[in-house]
Amino acid sequence: MLTLPGLIDPHVHMREPGQTHKEDWRSGTAAALAGGFTCILAMPNTDPPVTDPASLESAEESARKRALCDYGLFLGAGEDNVETAAGLAPKTVGLKMYLDRTFGPLRLGDPGAIAAHMTNWPAQKPIVVHAEGKRIALAIQLAARLGRSVHIAHVSRKKEILLIKLSKEKGLAVTCEVTPHHLFLTKEDIPRIGAGRSEVRPKLATKADQQALWENLAVIDCFATDHAPHTIAEKDGENPPPGFPGLETALALLLGAVREGRLTMEDILKRMVDNPRRIFHLPEQVDTFIDVDFDAQWTIRGHYLQSRCEWTPFEGMPVRGKVVEVNLRGRIVYQAPDVLVQPGYGRDLFGPALPPEPIKPIPM
Ligand code: DOR
Ligand code: ZN
C-alpha cells in the first residue's frame, strides 16, 4: 500500500450547469475521488459558459451544493468581457482562453482581444490557453511581449513540446500540461476505440508525437486529465463531441509507466501535486492523502466508473494500482467503491474564507 498526497487535476470539465446528463458536480467529483484527486480545477465551457458575474455565481452555486472534493473555477475569456473578467479574478483560479475551436462556444480569434485579456488579467493569476500548433507560438509570443506567464493546456505534438522546450530555455515564463490520453494513446488506437469515441481536442496524434512527449518529460510541468465526459449515445451519434473521461484512469495508467521504468513516483508527484499547486497558487490541503494499492489488478470498464458518462477510451485495458481510500481535510471521504461524504463537502479554494476546521480530540 502506498500513501500519497491528494492529487490535483488542473483541467477538468464538469458539465453543470447546462449539461448534467453528461456529468454534474457530484458525479464528476465522485470520479475525482475514485481517481485519487482531492482537488480539481474546473473549465468554464459549461452551458452557459462562465464569463460574467451571473454565470460565475451559477457555477459557484452548483459546485457549492454538490462538490465532494475541493475545487477552483476558471473564468472564460470572450471577445467582449475583458473588463468584467479582470474584476472577477479574485473569485477564480485563473483565466481560460480558447484560441482554437473545441467543445462549446468560447473562442478568442482576434489577437487584439487575446492581448487585451493578457494585459488586464492580474499578473499573479494564471492564464491557461487552449491552443494548437502556431496558435501556441502566438500565445507564448504575446505573453512574453506583455511580460506575463502563460500555461499551455494539453500539449500533444512533437513540434509543440519542442517549441515550449525552446521557450523555457530562453527563460520565458511558460508552463504546460500533457494528458494521459496523449501519453498512452495514438491515432493507431482509433480503429479499436471507434471513430466517434476517438474524437478529442487536440486529436490523438502520431507515434512520433507521443514519443516526443515521453522524451521531453522534463518539459512537462503537469499531468492533467482534461476529463471531458460526453454520453455514449453522443459519442456514437451523428456529430460526436470531442472529449474523453479521464479522472478514474489517470493514476493507474501512470503507475503502469512507473512499473515499466518510464516514470518514477517522484515524476508523478511533481506533476500531479507540487507543480499544479505552485503554478495555480493553490493552498495546501491539510490532513489530505490517498491510499493506493500499488499491486491491485483491475480491468478498465466504463460501466463501473463513477462518471456519469460510463464509457472510456481505455475500455478492456488491464491495469494495476487502485485508489482504496481518500482522506480530505481529516475525513475519510472515499473508501472504494463508496463515497462517504455528502455533496457539498468540497470547498471552493477561491471562495469566501472557510470556517475553521473543528478541533480534533487529542488521542489519549
Ligand atoms: O476534447 C475536448 N473536449 N477538448 C477540449 O478542449 C474541450 C473538451 C470538452 O469540453 O468536451
Ligand atoms: Zn479541456
| pLDDT given for residue 358 in this prediction | 60
Q: Does the residue 355 lie in any domain?
A: no
CB contact at 8 A, 284 and 38? no
Mean pLDDT of 298-312: 97
| pLDDT given for residue 359 in this prediction | 59
Q: Which of 108, 135, 152, 201 to mutate to test the pocket of ligand 1 (most atoms within 8 A of CB)?
A: 201
Residue 331 has pLDDT above 90, yes or no: yes
Residue 71 has pLDDT above 90, yes or no: yes
| pLDDT given for residue 101 in this prediction | 83
Which of the ligands is closest to the CA of residue 74? Answer: 2
Which are the contacts of 22, defined by CB distance < 8 A and separation ≥ 6? 15, 229, 230, 231, 234, 308, 309
Q: Which of 40, 45, 102 to mutate to test the pocket of ligand 1 (most atoms within 8 A of CB)?
A: 102
CB contact at 8 A, 10 and 319? no
The number of distinct structural domains making up the chain is 1
Give residue 75 CA to ligand 2 midpoint distance, Å.
13
Q: Does the residue 210 lie in any domain?
A: yes
- Where does the chain show beta strands of DSSP type E? 2-5, 7-12, 37-42, 70-76, 94-98, 127-130, 150-152, 174-178, 222-223, 289-299, 318-328, 331-335, 338-339
Share of the chain above pLDDT 70, in %: 97
CB contact at 8 A, 100 and 160? no
Q: Does the residue 361 lie in any domain?
A: no
Q: Does the residue 205 lie in any domain?
A: yes
DSSP string over 283-347: PP-TT-EEEEEEEEEEE--GGG-SSTT---TTTT-EEEEEEEEEEETTEEEEETTEE-S-TT-S-
- Strands 127-130 and 150-152 turn out to be parallel
Q: Does the residue 359 lie in any domain?
A: no
The atom number, within ligand 1, closest to the CA of 229 reads 11
Q: pLDDT tens-digit profile of 11-23?
A: 999 999 999 999 9
3-state SS assignment for residue 340: coil
Q: Which of 11, 13, 43 to mutate to test the pocket of ligand 1 (most atoms within 8 A of CB)?
A: 13
- For residue 107, what is the domain's CATH number? 3.20.20.140
Give residue 9 CA to ligand 2 midpoint distance, Å.
11
Q: Does the residue 111 lie in any domain?
A: yes
| pLDDT given for residue 335 in this prediction | 98
| pLDDT given for residue 353 in this prediction | 73
CB contact at 8 A, 223 and 178? yes
Can you give the residue range of the structural domain that contains 160? 2-339
Residue 89 has pLDDT above 90, yes or no: yes
